[in-house]
Amino acid sequence: MFVQYLVRRAIGGFLVVLIATFVVFTFIRLAGDPAALIVGGTGENITINPARVEQVRRELGLDRPLIIQFFDFLGGLVTGGLGNSYVTGRPIADELRVRLPVTIEIAFLSEFMAWVFALPLGLFSALRRGRFTEGITRVFFFIASAVPAYWLGLLVLIAVLLVFGWRPPLGLVPPTQNLWTHLQQIILPIVVLGFVLAAGLVRFIRNAVLEVLQEPFVQVARAKGLAESTVVLRHVLRNAFAPTIAFSGLRVGYLLGGVVIVETTFNLPGLGLFFVDAVSRRDFPVIQIAVLILGSAFVIINLLTDIVTSFLDPRLRERG
């Protein structure tokens, strides 16, 4: 049964996230002493009081065996306690409450923008295979796939400033406070990341459509005298969507990496900028939560992808 398949995927995904979290939990402690970081900070030429370091180590439970620390960490997650940042001292939950909606919004809208770019171009490229216009489309997106998101973001910022004389508002205003200003602040990151993501998606859509066009049921539909638009929209696209959506779900890691880049480039207060700053300052609790969130997002999105593709392709429901 397909439900059993999803349950097995969910259990397997949970174990993967748990193992990945434990591996990161172990290795970041091998990178340095968190207690010494808290006492001395991250600057140079610092003086550390060993007695104070030992006191902090006891207060945080860092003197306990590693496996006990890990179970304490998991217990805090179950009870809703995500801990505090070692650098700022602020509760991590408060930071996530502010930053998580920003990252979700950028990621979702960027993927939507990628589909807006890629779907018509991928379909156009497949239906006009071998023609000059199809060749131009393929070359264009081959070039686009080689352009780094951070470089394209800087280029777009310079272009809108010098060519159009428009300076996007800095920071990020909540949409509930000023929707128009909010849209001005997120439009460039969404377009940049969506364009970069579309480069790979357009090629996948083209190949999926070409594969479906060779299926016997498409030839039968054409032999019945159905209009080409009906054949494409009703028969070809429906069957090409399932593998394309699966591909879109599998590249969630690349999507989240792109979000980190655009948040850093456009100085957006999302999880990406928060996690990059945590890595640079060796803020261990934040890094642990980052791995947990990213791993969980990957598992959840892939489960949702399986559910959607099962409705588009009923044969997947027969999986046991």
Distance CA 25, CA 247 (A): 30
* Tokens describing residue 206: 């083209």
Query: Residue range 29-54: average pLDDT?
Result: 66
Q: What Cα–Cα distance (Å) separates residue 225 from each residue in 105, 213, 230?
A: 44, 16, 10
Q: What is the CATH number of domain 96-318?
A: 1.10.3720.10
Tens of pLDDT, residue by residue over 190-232, are: 888 888 888 888 888 888 888 888 888 877 877 877 777 777 7
pTM, full prediction: 0.74
Higher pLDDT, 178 or 130: 178
Tens of pLDDT, residue by residue over 82-102, are: 777 777 778 888 888 888 888
Query: Residue range 17-34: average pLDDT?
Result: 76
Q: What Cα–Cα distance (Å) separates residue 117 from each residue in 27, 36, 97, 110, 291?
A: 41, 50, 31, 11, 31
Evaluate if residue 134 carries a pLDDT over 70: no
Distance CA 22, CA 18 (A): 6
Tens of pLDDT, residue by residue over 157-168, are: 788 877 777 777
Domain chopping of the chain, boundaries: 2-78, 96-318
Instruction: Look at residue 152 in the predicted model and tell me its pLDDT.
Output: 80
Tens of pLDDT, residue by residue over 231-249, are: 777 778 777 877 788 777 7
Distance CA 271, CA 104 (A): 9
Evaluate if residue 44 carries a pLDDT over 60: no
* Tokens describing residue 200: 């790979």
Instruction: Look at residue 40 in the predicted model and tell me its pLDDT.
Output: 63
pLDDT band at 291 (very low <50, low <70, confident <90, very high): confident
